[in-house]
Amino acid sequence: MKLVTFTHQGKTRIGALVTRDGQERVVDLPAADPSLPDDMIALLAGGDGLLTRAQQAASTATTVALADVRLLPPIPRPGKIICIGLNYRDHARETGQPIPQYPIVFSKYANTVIAHGDNIVLPRVTDQVDYEAELGFVIGKRARYVKAADALEYVAGYLPVNDVSARDYQTRISQWTMGKTFDTFAPMGPALVTRDEVPNAGNLRISLTVNGETLQDSNTNELIFGIPQLVEALSEVMTLEPGDVVSTGTPPGVGMARKPQRYLRPGETVSVSIEGVGTLSNPVVAE
């Protein structure tokens, strides 16, 4: 199931993307089944029972044309956005850095989150804004001290993420936070694809284009720490809650590592595509 948050006729709702007669359309899930919540985190927190009811509603309910709604981020304000740095072997080779022995973790905040189709805004204080295609996963139930062997039971699903980064701010100090947390620097979506539709998240093609030019092209089988290992490591430290987003790192081809360096410019469109998960596209504009 492809879960979305959207606005229609002035109301914010949660829904499912479905294909009817060859066209993508949206099911308003609480309208189809009033027992369902109208908030994505509440739906995920309800566990398999609510997701099963949502699946049943999506299969039979009336739909709205995708063009008639505005997609929001699937989880508009995640409680936590946890990002993993230097987590692709081929990206580590590209940057000349050693393979990490433990996940490199940093955070973004809710101010960074935008939807598929929203503008990435280039701040006026930097001209070194970079792109990073990433596979994100979303926590589906409370997780603490979870072992890798059991980790996928705690994953609700997957979504494309663009870990937009201002490289000059990122490298000013040892902590990356300032370069990662400008407004609009975490596009994600368009949908949260539930785990049952992605049988092996550790073997997915991931790519990124800018104005149609492919700049990143790899596979999640290059991940140093896979999703089970990340859930185990993170849940040793913090309680993961439904709706938390973990972004698993980027493959090679980032603008900072290119010769010459290649940063985002106003008027461009950047797209992250992940096999079986979807394509996230965002125009780039000046502040």
Query: Which SS3 state, helix, strand or coil, does residue 14 take?
Result: strand
| pLDDT value, residue 91 | 80
Beta strand 278-286 with 269-274 is antiparallel
> 93 pLDDT exceeds 90?
no
Nearest to 273 by CA among 150, 153, 154, 131: 131
> 164 pLDDT exceeds 90?
yes
Residue 125 burial (C-beta neighbours within 10 Å; 0-12, 13-18, 19+)? exposed
Q: Work out the pLDDT band at 133, boundaries 50, 70, 90.
A: very high
CATH class in words for 81-286 = alpha beta
> 148 pLDDT exceeds 80?
yes
Give the lowest-confidence range in 29-33, 131-135, 239-243, 263-267: 29-33
Cβ neighbours, 10 Å, residue 23 = 11
> 95 pLDDT exceeds 80?
no
Ramachandran quadrant class, 48 (left: phi over 0; alpha: psi -120 to 50; beta: rest): alpha
What is the tens place of the pLDDT at every residue in 220-250? 999 999 999 999 999 999 999 999 999 999 9
Q: What token pair was written down for 251? A: 């493959």
What is the tens place of the pLDDT at every residue in 99-109? 899 999 999 99
What is the tens place of the pLDDT at every residue in 174-209? 889 999 999 999 999 999 999 999 999 999 999 999
Instruction: Please state the rounded mean pLDDT for residues 67-89.
Output: 96
pTM beyond 0.75: yes
Residues contacting residue 262 through CB under 8 Å, at least 6 positions apart: 215, 255
Residues contacting residue 19 through CB under 8 Å, at least 6 positions apart: 25
Residue bearing tokens 């927190």: 45
Q: Give dist(CA 71, CA 24) in Å, integer.
A: 13
Ramachandran quadrant class, 46 (left: phi over 0; alpha: psi -120 to 50; beta: rest): alpha
Query: Which SS3 state, helix, strand or coil, does residue 199 take?
Result: coil
Can you say how many angstroms the Cα of residue 97 is from the centroid of all Cα atoms in its chain? Answer: 25
Torsion of CA 83, 183, 138, 35, to 10 degrees: 160
The structural domains of the chain, with segments of one domain joined by +, span: 2-72, 81-286
